[in-house]
Amino acid sequence: MPADDTSRRRRRRRRLLLLPVLAAAVLAALPWAGRALLWRWEDNPLLRGERLARKVGCLSCHRPEAGVEIPNPGSRWGTVPRFQAGNAMMYAESCADVEGFVRSGAPRAWLDDPEVRRRLASQRLRMPAYEGRLGDDEIADLVAYACAVEGLDLAGAGDPQVAAGRALARRHGCLSCHGVEGAGGRPNPGSLGGFIPGFAGRNFDDLVRDRAEFAEWIRHGTSRRLARNPLIRYFWQRQAIAMPPYGDALSDEEIDQLWAWVGAIRQRP
């Protein structure tokens, strides 16, 4: 038998051996390819601001989730205000005030008042000035986040339906998973995107088509439409955190209020 005939056969055998390996690789890559097609990163100022607040140390002093505030002897109210329902509202009345704190460690009016300056100099903890340390975009994200956490300048704030929905979301702990104002993006290992979807971004369009599907998620923690997709089921079985079924804990009227709140968030540019 000619020599190049044998080597050709050997090459063909090697190629045949490679086939199952290739097939296995393609199969293993399928979920990840599907994931890339199906999922979009959550990205918005609130989420960026929240991540930045952790990264640049804001949350070391301001503890949004903790029940206690850090003592701050010498300061006006004796503690560092905790974001969200702490004594923060004693300090900032507007997002412009919040920006003053972030840029200069205090709003202009404080810094112009010699008595306040004296108090600031004597208190144990001072709000650092981040101007120069962070870019304007980063400061804008931080201000958006801090404002939202503190309830300043919220979407649809004048509408009682929206306000009731927002209060329900706080009371039932929706925000602890779905983020401030439904900004999303909090970690969920093993899930399709690796994070919990929000209400503001485009993932919501895919996950919730209408009020009926919204109610289905809340009552049953799932969507019958999406459950038909094997790829989605694959990730659902592996994700660490699932949407809890609230059953009858929320009435139809309350779901309407949550829906109004989500609508207001989504109308924000």
Interacting residues with ligand HEC (CB under 6 A) = 53, 56-58, 60-62, 72, 75-76, 80-81, 83, 88, 91-92, 98, 101-102, 120, 123, 125-128, 130, 142, 146, 150, 169, 172-174, 176-178, 188, 196-197, 199, 203-204, 207-208, 214, 217-218, 236, 241-244, 246, 258
Q: Please, is 136 exposed, middle or buried when counting C-beta atoms within 10 Å of its C-beta (0-12, 13-18, 19+)? A: exposed
Q: CB–CB of 201/152 below 8 Å? A: no
Closest distance of CB 20 from ligand HEC, Å: 33
**Alpha helices (H) in 57-185, listed in sequence order:** 58-61, 95-104, 108-111, 114-122, 136-150, 160-171, 174-178
Helix (H) or strand (E) holding 132: none
User: Distance between CA 257 and CA 223 in Å, rounded?
Assistant: 20
Closest distance of CB 7 from ligand HEC, Å: 53
Closest distance of CB 209 from ligand HEC, Å: 10
